[in-house]
Structure 1
Amino acid sequence: MKKLIAIIPILFVLLSNAQYEHEVTGYVWPEDKKVLEKLEEWQDLKFGLLMHWGAYSQWGIVESWSICPEDYGWCERKKGSNPDDYFTYKKEYENLKLSFNPVNFNPEKWAEAARDAGMKYVVFTTKHHDGFSMFDSKYTDYKITDVECPFSVNPRANVTKEIFDAFRAEGLWAGAYFSKPDWNSPYYWDPKFPPLDRNVNYDPELYPEKWEKFVEFTHNQIMELMIDYGKVDILWLDGGWVAEKPASMIEQSYAAKAEGTPSGFIKNRTVNQDIRMDELAAKAREKQPGLIVVDRAVRGPNQNYLTPENRVPEMQLPYPWESCIIAGGGWSWVPNPQFMSPKQAIHMLVDIVAKGGNLLYNIGPGPDGTWPQGAYELLAAMGDWIKVNGEAIYSTRAIEPFKTDNICLTQNKDTKEVYAIYLEETISEQLTASEKLTEKLPTSFTVKGIFAENNAKLSMLGAKGNLKWENTDEGVKIYIPERIRKNLPCDLAWAVKISEIQ
């Protein structure tokens, strides 16, 4: 007991220092040269699209989680004929396959909107935790191409292939989201045993042959994606609890938080769910050299970049990372989703890039195969801004002090030019339209902690001419002439390029 009392304060200090476990240290850099090169290229891309889509979209509910017998808000059951009866609900949920028919599916329209928004890669949910495969897997009949699914007769029924092809045609990378747990597989949730939580519902160490069948099933499905779907750049694995059994309480807490469970919560049931990730990653890279593997929430060499979920870290992180953020509604489609404003979205993108990360922006397609109109409008506004300011975003890296007040900093990784991005502050509604125009940007502002070289040239992206400036004790002070303030090249945020810094 004395030893336990001594350990507990250390544990809580470590947990408090860790903040959110999608961001903890302990990152392991890959040793594969091709993977390192690919990661470097990925860090140049900055802006990607995530799409959660499946038969569950017909109910407008969160993906998968309502069939998981855990007591969290996102697991609440509200649909079906009798949501209070778990087994009836689960059966009706699985029968959504029988009515899933997204006849308006048009991935080219999505790909064009993503390209015009400035997105450079897509990550698509080929399979979520419920096990419904959005690709033509020969290892399950719980899939969109099964004869019992009405969409299976559509020539574009293999939606994963159609999406990858459409986005690659627009110059975007293709990324495959794949859930390691599979709540439909009899080798994960054995029908002879009731599911207890998100984990496998039997002990793999007591039933090793059964678990081996699940491991083979998982490897086989992932290898289908690696072999039959063209060039795949990212394998984005979810379900971090499917891993070797955590070695300590700290590791358990890491996995729990990374999966979205409450702060400080340590599961009372941990199960060894080793799917031989090292072997799987090696096999996948034989087919897709340089493949980036993202084994989310599992520390070690197979988590090539980290993924803070639905939040932006407070500080720059010292390894490759990506914030995956809901653009509007939920991860999956919900009726009448409310999207971020362009100002919120653009400021978030700038903030993430200034801290060295990428933004993976989630949009959930609807049950008919279309995006909400609000998604197109938001992406169009982001694209308008990026057309002017893209050089301050792409192929940049973080530079101290990253962000001071409402000014974010980025630096071109090759030329070393620095960009000071001024984020629009709140403007009083009492001002006239003419006054609001000139109030968007002040006559001058100081970029604290950055000093320009004596012969440096400063200019605003999208505007003609150089800007006057001077170094002060705090940093470089930049003057914005009235001709620019009355004819701004874009809205919401403005980037000033500094050719050389001290």
Structure 2
Amino acid sequence: MKNPLIILMGLLFLAALPGFSQAIYEDERYVPETDPLVLEKLSQWQDIKFGLLMHWGAYSQWGIVESWSICAEDEGWCRRPDEDYTAYKKRYERLQTTFNPVKFNPERWAKAAKDAGMKYVVFTTKHHDGFCMFDSKYTDYKVTSPACPFSTHPKANIAKNVFDAFRDEGMWVGAYFSKPDWHHKDYWSPEFATPDRNVNYDPAAYPDRWENFVQFTHNQIMELMSDYGKMDILWLDGGWVAKKEKDVILKAYARRLENSSTGFIKAQVINQDIRMDELAAKARVKQPGLIVVDRAVHGKNQNYLTPENRVPEATLPYPWESCIISGGGWSYTPDAKYMTGRQAIHMLIDIVAKGGNLLYNIAPGPDGEWQQGAYDLLKEMGTWIKVNGEAIYNSKPLYPYKEDKIAMTQQKDGSANFLYLASEGEKMPSKIVIRSHKPVSGAEVTLLGSDQALKWKAEDDGFVVNIPAKQRNNPPCDLAWTLRVSQIVR
């Protein structure tokens, strides 16, 4: 454990420095929403369970992690080639001049997503590098600029065409938008060095410059809320851009210093008040009931939380969504290896049984196409969901959520679903035992995908179901099988 006196002295010294800040990771607290329209929308969102996330930008041409290679933070996953930083950044920004995804076909994506059972899409309108995949009038660093060869294409306004295609398939749409903008001169000013992901000057020392950036951010988001049709979700990334009080900064520094083996901390924490309350209110004037996800920022503007590339160990006491990479990275990876259907379906079941949603990331390539592995995976998931969707959509957790290889969900009509997660190559067993729940007397037990009632008997606090050979030899699906019980003992 670090010496508390040394930590205190360090805090007092740093607190006296203008603009001191330190990167913090917000804990998973939750402030419930009060707007009745948002609450209704959020309840509906919790029922649809399965969505698509797409990271796509000019960076896909290099097959690198999105945006991060121009950030000076020294991490293995975003490290640049061994070359001059300034030259690299200029070369990165010139990717705009060669981005030409002529195979862009959002209608094909939307159909594949719908057939897979997905109910909503979240699309990257702008990542941290500031390159806009929509026709913003507040910047020339965009796909519709004459500097970009794709600007002459009929579908040059990529975000608009994505949103329209997915809406036409009856899906919800959400706009991913990065609050930091590393291209904007009032975020990363050319007058100063850029030591990390944060604004590279003290907003308190340059309030006019920071206000210019706040207005720029509000203006771009309001373009998306005004000119791109019905919007269901505003999904904001870059949680370090947030209002930070001095005591929060100091506590964050203490935590980071306590957990540092060297005493050196890479990223700062700076008070970057983007006026989220005002922004959310303006957005909801244009889009009543809009779900706002100000990721990793504790407060009322984080309507649901977003565990990244992980599934929580248990249920969480608030709305949540695991955003997970399906294959490769968040952005396009050449020859990406995708999850197997079994891995993806079991993960979806695990998330839903714990009360969450799955936002599954697929990264388009520089030509505007998905890799075949993505289509194959979604097709396999869709085949399974067509049989078992009743156990997924509109469901709620059923305690204890999982026992051995069986996950559990329940429906509003009182029925319960017990999903048997098959091992690799496993065939359907002749008996399935559930120990934690018991059907009411006379309840009907069926296998989803079949109308035949199954024989069952109570056993201790649970029950045993017999699966006839005919159904075992010709199961309605692979990878996981669902027993539906019309009514269980409460």
With normalisation by structure 1, the TM-score equals 0.90
Is 1:199 the counterpart of 2:198 in the alignment?
yes
- The one-letter amino acid paired with 1:46 is K
* Counterpart Cα distance in 2 of 1:195 and 1:308: 28
- Which residue in the other structure is 1:52 paired with? 55
2:472 to 470, 482, 485: 485
User: What RMSD in Å do the two structures reach over aligned CA positions?
Assistant: 2.2
What SS does the aligned partner of 2:463 have? strand
- Which residue in the other structure is 2:421 paired with? 423
| Contact 1:235/1:292, CA 8 A, preserved across alignment | yes
Q: Deviations over 1:175-227 (max 9, x none)?
A: 00000000000000000101010000000000000000000000000000000
| Contact 1:241/1:255, CA 8 A, preserved across alignment | no
| Contact 2:196/2:268, CA 8 A, preserved across alignment | no
* Counterpart Cα distance in 1 of 2:265 and 2:451: 57
What are the within-5 Å matches in structure 2 for residues 104-115 of structure 1? 104-115=103-114
* Counterpart Cα distance in 2 of 1:25 and 1:85: 39
* Counterpart Cα distance in 1 of 2:284 and 2:304: 16
- Which residue in the other structure is 2:19 paired with? none
| Aligned-residue offset at 1:313 | 0.7
Is 1:471 the counterpart of 2:458 in the alignment?
yes
* Counterpart Cα distance in 2 of 1:116 and 1:254: 49
Which structure 1 residue ranges, 4+ long, deviate > 4 Å from structure 2?
A: 1-7, 253-256, 264-268
What SS does the aligned partner of 1:379 have? helix
Q: Deviations over 1:476-499 (max 9, x none)?
A: 222211111011000000111011
- Which residue in the other structure is 1:10 paired with? none
- The one-letter amino acid paired with 1:217 is F
- Which residue in the other structure is 1:436 paired with? none
What SS does the aligned partner of 2:323 have? strand
- Which residue in the other structure is 1:139 paired with? 138
* Counterpart Cα distance in 1 of 2:160 and 2:46: 25
Is 1:248 the counterpart of 2:248 in the alignment?
yes
Distance change >3 Å, CA 453–CA 183, structure 1 → 2: same
- Which residue in the other structure is 1:11 paired with? none
What SS does the aligned partner of 1:399 have? strand
| Contact 2:198/2:241, CA 8 A, preserved across alignment | yes
Q: Deviations over 1:282-302 (max 9, x none)?
A: 000000000000000000100
| Aligned-residue offset at 1:266 | 6.5
| Contact 1:240/1:255, CA 8 A, preserved across alignment | no
* Counterpart Cα distance in 2 of 1:418 and 1:162: 40
- Which residue in the other structure is 1:281 paired with? 280
Distance change >3 Å, CA 372–CA 268, structure 1 → 2: closer
What SS does the aligned partner of 1:398 have? strand
- Which residue in the other structure is 1:62 paired with? 65
* Counterpart Cα distance in 2 of 1:178 and 1:65: 15
With normalisation by structure 2, the TM-score equals 0.92
Is 1:232 the counterpart of 2:231 in the alignment?
yes
Structure 2: runs of 5+ lacking an equivalent: 9-23
- Which residue in the other structure is 1:431 paired with? none
* Counterpart Cα distance in 2 of 1:249 and 1:132: 30
Distance change >3 Å, CA 418–CA 150, structure 1 → 2: same
What SS does the aligned partner of 2:269 have? coil
| Aligned-residue offset at 1:253 | 7.6
* Counterpart Cα distance in 1 of 2:250 and 2:419: 39
1:459 to 446, 451, 462: 446
1:450 to 426, 434, 437: 437
Distance change >3 Å, CA 21–CA 409, structure 1 → 2: farther
Distance change >3 Å, CA 51–CA 90, structure 1 → 2: same
- The one-letter amino acid paired with 1:303 is Q
* Counterpart Cα distance in 1 of 2:453 and 2:231: 43
Distance change >3 Å, CA 342–CA 254, structure 1 → 2: farther
Is 1:319 the counterpart of 2:318 in the alignment?
yes
* Counterpart Cα distance in 1 of 2:385 and 2:255: 36
| Contact 1:255/1:298, CA 8 A, preserved across alignment | no
- The one-letter amino acid paired with 1:422 is Y
| Contact 2:197/2:267, CA 8 A, preserved across alignment | no
Distance change >3 Å, CA 372–CA 6, structure 1 → 2: closer
* Counterpart Cα distance in 1 of 2:264 and 2:78: 17
| Contact 1:102/1:368, CA 8 A, preserved across alignment | yes
* Counterpart Cα distance in 2 of 1:6 and 1:251: 11
What are the within-5 Å matches in structure 2 for residues 233-382 of structure 1? 233-245=232-244, 247-248=247-248, 252=252, 269-382=268-381
Distance change >3 Å, CA 287–CA 266, structure 1 → 2: farther
- The one-letter amino acid paired with 1:397 is K
* Counterpart Cα distance in 1 of 2:342 and 2:25: 28
Distance change >3 Å, CA 51–CA 2, structure 1 → 2: closer
Identity %: 63
Structure 1: runs of 5+ lacking an equivalent: 8-19, 428-438
| Aligned-residue offset at 1:399 | 1.2
